Every structure is written in C-alpha cells, then in structure tokens.
Amino acid sequence: MRLAILLSGRGSNFVAIHDAIARGELAAEMVAVISNRPEAPGIARARELGLPAHVLDHRSYPSRGAHEEDVLRILAEARPDFIVLAGYMRLLSPGFVAAWPNKILNIHPSLLPSFPGVDAQAQAIAYGVKVSGCTVHFVDENLDAGPIIVQRAVPVLDDDTAESLSARILEQEHAAYVEALRKLASSQWRVDGRRVVRSGSS
Ligand code: GRF
C-alpha cells in the first residue's frame, strides 16, 4: 500500500504510522511526505528518515488553486493508494477531493459528528461530555464529515484541560490511524453510503 502524507506541523501521527511500518505492523510504503509549512517539525523528521519530503509553502503561491495544482502534481507522480492527512491545516477544494474519491483520510480529535472544526478538545470540555476520542474518516467535500473508518474513545475527566485531554486523545490517534490503514490494506471493506463496512456484509 502506497501512502502519501500531508502535514503542517508536529507530525506525531505521521511518525506513528512510519514507526508501525518500520516494526512490520503495517504493510505500507511512504511515497511522499508533503508539508505546506517549511518550518513544520514533521517535514524535518521526514527528511531525517530519508523519505521523499516536499515543502510547498502555500504563502508563495498566488492562489489556493495554484498551490493545490502543485500538490496534485506531486501526488500524481507519487501514485499513492491513499492520501493521509496528518495535521494538514489546509482545506481541500471540492475538485481536489473529487480527484481522489475515498482515497483521502483524515484524523480528527473528537468522536464525530460531535465537535468538528478547530479546537475539538476544548469544545468537548466546554460542552461537558464525559467521553470523547478520535475519528479516522474519509474526506469528502464537507468539513470533518466523510465516512468513518475507525473511532476510539477516551474518558473526559473532571480536572481535564484542553491540553490533558488532547494528550489522552493523541495517544489513541496514533493507534487509530494505524488500525484504519491496516483495515484499508486488508481490502476487506467497502463504502456503503456513509458506512465503511466489511465486504460481504449487507
Ligand atoms: C491531531 O490532533 C489531529 O487529530 C489533528 O491535528 C493534530 C495533528 O497532530 N487533525 P500531529 O501533527 O500528527 O502531531
């Protein structure tokens, strides 16, 4: 399974997926790592690991479309089976998403459809939920909305801050992304409307 990673920052999900591949827990190969931020620690790590790392700084393009065109060009050359958004802080245009139907994955730090958008962990605390978690889902044209591949739950504790809850969720994110990719690698799944189900199940 060929994976392209898109990131903007820390890159801990990218590293977790890389480590799972290195340990032989995920049969995959990273064919491109793309960052829209030159200073992202994740892209520095990709270089250290000797992966094909690309920086496409969105600020040096005249438009969103021009930036996406370059991202799409690199993806076309890398021929990934799946595009993995790992803290990629850019919205993808409907045209981009349509070019890779059910091939783009994202991870979000809440149990969707609760708390889409930014600061999901702070939203969960402010709302007062007792359980939150993370969601790996396919990307469609709506924000944090595509078919769900894997979810993992964590408790929200009375004394949690956005930071402490984020850390608890992040640990599960790393496992959830690997679990989702293993599921996709097995090829025993299909998308049925909003549902990602085992092939053969009705
Ligand atoms: C994660 O919390 C992820 O759920 C969200 O952005 C953060 C990325 O973290 N989409 P990292 O860059 O993978 O460490």
pTM over 0.85: yes
CB atoms within 10 A of CB 41: 16
Listed residue (71, 8, 67, 5) closest to 32, CA to CA: 5
Kindly give, in sequence order, each residue whose CB lies less than 8 Å from that of residue 155, ignoring residues fewer than 6 positions away: 130, 131, 168
How many whole angstroms separate alpha carbon 111 and alpha carbon 100?
A: 24
How many whole angstroms separate alpha carbon 144 and alpha carbon 142?
A: 6
* Residue 187: predicted pLDDT: 82
Q: What is the mean pLDDT of the chain?
A: 96
Is the CB–ligand 1 distance for residue 172 below 6 Å?
A: no
User: Which value, to the nearest 10 degrees, does the dihedral of the CA atoms of residues 125, 131, 132, 133 take?
Assistant: 150
Is the CB–ligand 1 distance for residue 110 below 6 Å?
A: no
Å from CA of 201 to ligand 1 middle? 32
The predicted-structure confidence for 117-137, as pLDDT tens digits, reads as follows 999 999 999 999 999 999 999
How many whole angstroms separate alpha carbon 26 and alpha carbon 8?
A: 23
Residue 107, pLDDT > 90, answer yes
CA angle 166, 83, 70 (to 5 degrees): 110
Q: Strand 53-55 to strand 82-85: parallel, antiparallel, or no bridges (unpaired)?
A: unpaired
Residue 202, pLDDT > 90, answer no
Residue 88, pLDDT > 80, answer yes
**Residue having the nearest C-alpha atom to atom 14 of ligand 1:** 12
Is the CB–ligand 1 distance for residue 173 below 6 Å?
A: yes
Q: Is 108 annotated in the active site?
A: yes
The predicted-structure confidence for 46-58, as pLDDT tens digits, reads as follows 999 999 999 999 9
Question: Which pair of structure tokens corresponds to residue 165?
Answer: 């809850």
Å from CA of 14 to ligand 1 middle? 9
